[in-house]
């Protein structure tokens, strides 16, 4: 029997892998020491566990363990990187560049800096969700100090050209931050070759616990940031606060498993994603959002024309997915990411993001396909827009009585 609803929202969060949970538990009970306690064995044991986890996080991304700073998650890492670097280098310039499809943790950090007098350029993306390098180059200014571009987009799964952007930034002496929340375990990350200075990661998208993340801060050449959290000088002064050892241990184990298993796992997930896409692509007027080549295998974001988002989610309540056009209240607001792709008829679409993970099965995908085919047919039979489209009416030419 399938357990309903079927979880296909692995980019929102993942379950903790049982192997990870098992490794964490002793650090809540017997091995509870504070790694900052230097005077006894409880502290030494905790510190050793923290350093082992730090080494595992570093290994997955080909970094030096000394370049890893623990944080509470990617939102904090983004804040620390963006505000920390912008402030540190503010004597040199006060212009930043980011992209319209970034996560709110990046966009809102930039907004805050704008309130403090910084200038920010928000780049458009192409129709496939990827940034145009010429547009990026044109936005660079002599006073640009920081560029922030995400590795993998959370809504549409597209992979931005991080290597190319890194080369350009390094060449011009601009700090380059990457929000890599959705990337570890999904594609190889080699910071020995990528010219990335700061990179945000989190545990709970990689089958680790919530509430723990890290910021990678390059040592060679050294990038400088101003601390945002002050206190006992933990993490070499970059981020004060007692380390949550059990969560850190969990993140280390999660990243170790990702390193060991990602090759085989991603092939399996790609097959499931393709099975899902094959299953629904025979439905008329289904559009994939975002580039299909430069994309992680876990993500499928599709728009179903002439079906309204909320009724769609109601119809497929046996699937735990997220809606691109989330009209969760009275205000119907299409996702700013999808809007940035520039589909002019997007308002008559409902978009669904499916994100497949380690624990999904073929049986679950088949169930999802069957349900989608059935429900989309039902909703379209009820849709006056579908009827008009079938009759050849151009919906953009109709004078709607907006209310």
- Candidate residues 12, 135, 327, 371; the one interacting with other proteins per rule CB under 8 A: 327
Give the bridge partners for 123, in sequence order. 99
* Beta strands 175-179; 198-202: pairing state: parallel
Q: Is 393 in the site for other proteins (CB under 8 A)?
A: no
Q: Is 332 in the site for other proteins (CB under 8 A)?
A: yes
By CB under 8 A, how many residues form the interface with other proteins?
Answer: 26
CA nearest neighbour of 121 among 174, 51, 74, 63: 174
Catalytic annotation, pick one of 229, 288, 327, 395: 327
Q: Is 306 in the site for other proteins (CB under 8 A)?
A: yes
| 281 cis-preceded (ω within 30 degrees of 0) | no
Distance CA(319)–CA(307), nearest Å, equals 17
Distance CA(203)–CA(58), nearest Å, equals 13
Q: Is 240 in the site for other proteins (CB under 8 A)?
A: no
Under 8 Å between Cβ of 66 and 219: yes
- Is 110 part of the annotated catalytic residue set? no
- Give the nearer residue to other proteins in terms of CB position, either 41 or 330: 330
Listing DSSP states for 36-94 in one string gives T--SSHHHHHHHHHHHHHHHHHHHHTT--GGGEEEESSHHHHHHHHHHHHHHHTTTT--
Q: Is 344 in the site for other proteins (CB under 8 A)?
A: no
Structure token pair of residue 131: 């940034």
Q: Is 285 in the site for other proteins (CB under 8 A)?
A: no
- Give the nearer residue to other proteins in terms of CB position, either 132 or 333: 333
Q: Is 385 in the site for other proteins (CB under 8 A)?
A: yes
Q: Is 324 in the site for other proteins (CB under 8 A)?
A: no
- Candidate residues 307, 352, 368, 369; the one interacting with other proteins per rule CB under 8 A: 307
Q: Is 328 in the site for other proteins (CB under 8 A)?
A: yes
- Give the nearer residue to other proteins in terms of CB position, either 202 or 383: 383
Distance CA(347)–CA(47), nearest Å, equals 53
Distance CA(309)–CA(351), nearest Å, equals 7
Under 8 Å between Cβ of 75 and 83: no
Nearest approach in angstroms of CB 381 to other proteins is 7
Stretch that binds other proteins, among 84-92, 239-247, 281-289, 395-403 (CB under 8 A): 395-403
* Beta strands 144-150; 68-71: pairing state: unpaired
> x/- site string to other proteins, residues 216 to 235, per CB under 8 A?
--------------------
Nearest approach in angstroms of CB 111 to other proteins is 27
Q: Which residues are catalytic?
A: 327
User: Which residues contact other proteins (rule: CB under 8 A)?
Assistant: 306-311, 314, 327-330, 332, 347-348, 381-387, 395, 400-403
């Amino acid at each position: 029997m399938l357990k309903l609803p079927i979880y296909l929202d692995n980019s929102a969060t993942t379950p903790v892998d049982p192997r990870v949970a098992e490794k964490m538990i002793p650090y809540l009970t017997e091995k509870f020491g504070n790694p900052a306690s230097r005077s006894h064995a409880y502290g030494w044991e905790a510190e050793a566990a923290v350093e082992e986890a730090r080494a595992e996080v570093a290994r997955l991304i080909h970094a030096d363990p000394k370049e890893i700073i623990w944080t509470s998650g990617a939102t904090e890492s983004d804040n620390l990187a963006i505000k920390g670097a912008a402030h540190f280098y503010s004597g040199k310039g006060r212009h930043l560049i980011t992209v319209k499809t970034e996560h709110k943790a990046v966009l809102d950090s930039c907004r805050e800096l704008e309130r403090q007098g910084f200038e920010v350029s928000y780049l458009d993306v192409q129709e496939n969700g990827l940034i145009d390098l010429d547009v990026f180059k044109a936005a660079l200014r002599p006073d640009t100090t920081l560029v922030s571009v995400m590795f993998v987009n959370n809504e549409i799964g597209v992979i931005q050209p991080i290597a190319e952007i890194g080369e350009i930034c390094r060449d011009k002496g601009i700090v380059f931050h990457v929000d890599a929340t959705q990337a570890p375990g999904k594609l190889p990350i080699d910071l020995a070759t990528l010219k990335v200075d700061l990179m945000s990661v989190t545990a709970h998208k990689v089958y680790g616990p919530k509430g723990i993340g890290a910021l990678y801060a390059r040592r060679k050449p050294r990038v400088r940031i101003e601390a945002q959290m002050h206190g006992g000088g933990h993490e070499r002064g970059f981020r004060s606060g007692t380390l949550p050892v059990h969560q850190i241990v969990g993140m280390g184990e999660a990243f170790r498993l990702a390193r060991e298993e990602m090759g085989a796992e991603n092939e399996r997930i790609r097959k499931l994603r393709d099975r899902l896409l094959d299953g629904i692509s025979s439905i008329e007027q289904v559009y994939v959002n975002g580039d299909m080549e430069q994309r992680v295998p876990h993500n499928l974001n599709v728009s179903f024309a002439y079906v309204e988002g909320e009724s769609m989610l109601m119809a497929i309540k046996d699937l735990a997915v997220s809606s691109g056009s989330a009209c969760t209240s009275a205000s119907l607001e299409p996702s700013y990411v999808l809007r940035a792709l520039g589909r002019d008829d997007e308002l008559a679409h409902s978009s669904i993001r499916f994100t497949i993970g380690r624990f999904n099965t073929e049986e679950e995908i088949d169930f999802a396909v069957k349900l989608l085919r059935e429900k989309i047919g039902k909703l379209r039979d009820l849709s006056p827009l579908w009827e008009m489209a079938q009759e050849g009416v151009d919906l953009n030419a109709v004078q709607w009585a907006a209310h």
